[in-house]
Amino acid sequence: MKYQNDLILRAAKGEITERVPVWVMRQAGRILPEYRAIRASISGFKELVETPELASEVTIQPVDILGVDAAIIFSDILVIPEAMGCIYEMEEKVGPRFPNPIRTESDINKLVIPDPEDKLKYVLDAVRLTVKNLHGRVPVIGFAGAPFTILAYMIEGKGSKTFSETKKFLYTEPVLAHKILEKITLTTISYLKAKVDAGAAMLQLFDSWAGILSPSQYTEFAMPYISRICDSASVPITVFSKGAFFALEEINQTSCNTIGLDWTLDPKKVREIIGFDKTLQGNLDPCLLYSSDKKIVTETISMLKSFGGNKHIANLGHGVYPDTSPEKVKLFIDTIKNYRF
């Protein structure tokens, strides 16, 4: 497919671009009044995720309003465990909760590897509808949670600062942990392939809880599965392992095209570690967007300079926070779009 704006695809492939492309993690929703209006008219988050027309509408909103260089499909990483048979609920102002978290081998045996066109058809329909309605303006990014992060939610049963139940499981039941990870990986590979077939031009893996693992645990329980998913991708894929600064060399050895950086990492030092073969994504601290306009412009330009211009996709170092002003986000985006090296 030909795009009116293919900057992000070319950057992901390592090509020289006229300017640095930009999108924002969690750009679809949260900060936009237009999104909140839709949320207020329905029963809740899951209805929005599971209604393709609405999911597509809020996916396109930041392209129209903020002027980003890509649309990322509005969904949730937890649609994967739900499709496998581990149901979650989304509690307002609390977050996800699994009424029946995984505890035993019997629980694991009950998990299925679903056909994405069956159990996850609503996501794929949202991708198809979004691609159709964008008319080639910008590419669509499909995403999934990395297997360890999905496992963490399935075992913990909710979000956590420590994920101690999950880590206990890794130490006491490593064979069962790998059994779950295998099922999650096979489901994720099938799911992401279906997203590409539906029209997604790029992919991203979110390993949101990678930073709670020790380096040896990351090597054992995260990296092999991420690597397999990257190997299966037929379009550019980004790996974003938040907090896993110790794993940069391992991530670099996968077949991913882009490595996402959180705000704790210095792009220049990362380049010293991994070289210049891959594109980097990131990495402005989302909290900087609470500061003055002048500070946002100065720090955004400083960030751009630290990446060096080429093989860079500008983004925040994590998802934008819900009480951030849309005008501040747009200033961040416009500063990047107007800057030239």
**Among all residues, which ones are annotated catalytic?**
26, 30, 39, 76, 153
Task: State which amino acid sits at residue 13.
Answer: K
Question: Distance of alpha carbon 78 from its chain centroid, rounded?
Answer: 12
User: Residue for token digits 């002003």?
Assistant: 325
Contact criterion met (CB below 8 Å) for 71 and 40 = no
Main-chain dihedrals φ then ψ at residue 113, nearest 5 degrees: -105, 100
Question: Distance of alpha carbon 3 from its chain centroid, rounded?
Answer: 22
Rounded distance between C-alpha atoms, residue 172 and residue 170, angstroms: 6
Structure tokens at 145: 């949670």
Sign of the alpha-carbon torsion through 90, 91, 92, 95: negative
Sign of the alpha-carbon torsion through 192, 197, 198, 203: positive
- In sequence order, the β-bridge partners of residue 91 are 95
Alpha helix positions (H), 25-96: 33-40, 45-49, 52-65, 79-84
Beta strands in 53-122 (DSSP E): 71-72, 89-91, 95-97
Structure tokens at 176: 């069962």
| Helix (H/G/I), strand (E/B), else coil: 241 | strand
78 Cβ contact partners less than 8 Å away, ≥ 6 residues apart: 88, 96, 145, 150, 153
Angle 326-338/293-307 helices, nearest 10 degrees?
40
| Helix (H/G/I), strand (E/B), else coil: 157 | coil
Neighbours of 312 (CB within 10 A): 24
DSSP code for 204: E
Rounded distance between C-alpha atoms, residue 323 and residue 31, angstroms: 6
